[in-house]
Structure 1
């Protein structure tokens, strides 16, 4: 399937990618707080809506 070298490369790539993403988002943290203010409420509303739809589906099925 995959050679040992390919597994090592994949592991190093994932670690390097995660480290790079952490540094990148850490630098933009202040900007994200300003531009995405209130987005958590929208996400919560969307999740509650999906839960409501599933509950409605279960109730109407019986």
Structure 2
């Protein structure tokens, strides 16, 4: 399906991309703490909404 060159490139790309993301996040960690204090609340609300939709789907299916 994939050649060995494509697999090597994909592996190399993933490693470099993850390393770059870690570097950038560590560099901006103080800004994240300052400007995105309540971001986890928004994430939890969004996930709760998705779970609520899932339960409504199951309830109405029966």
TM-score > 0.5 by shorter chain: yes
Alignment coverage as a number of residue pairs: 62
Runs of 4+ in 1 over 4 A off after TM superposition: none
3-state SS of 2:43 partner: helix
CA RMSD of aligned residues (A): 1.6
Q: TM-score, normalization: structure 1?
A: 0.77
Gapped regions of structure 1 (runs ≥ 5): none
Q: Say which one has the larger Rg.
A: 1
TM-score, length-normalised on structure 2?
0.77
Gaps of 5+ in 2: none
Moved more, 40-49 or 3-12: 3-12
User: What does the per-residue CA deviation read over 1:3-41, in whole Å, with 9 as the maximum and x for residues that have no partner?
Assistant: 323322322222122111111110001101111111111
Please say if 1:4 is aligned against 2:16: no
Query: Are residue 17 (structure 1) and residue 2 (structure 2) matched?
Result: no
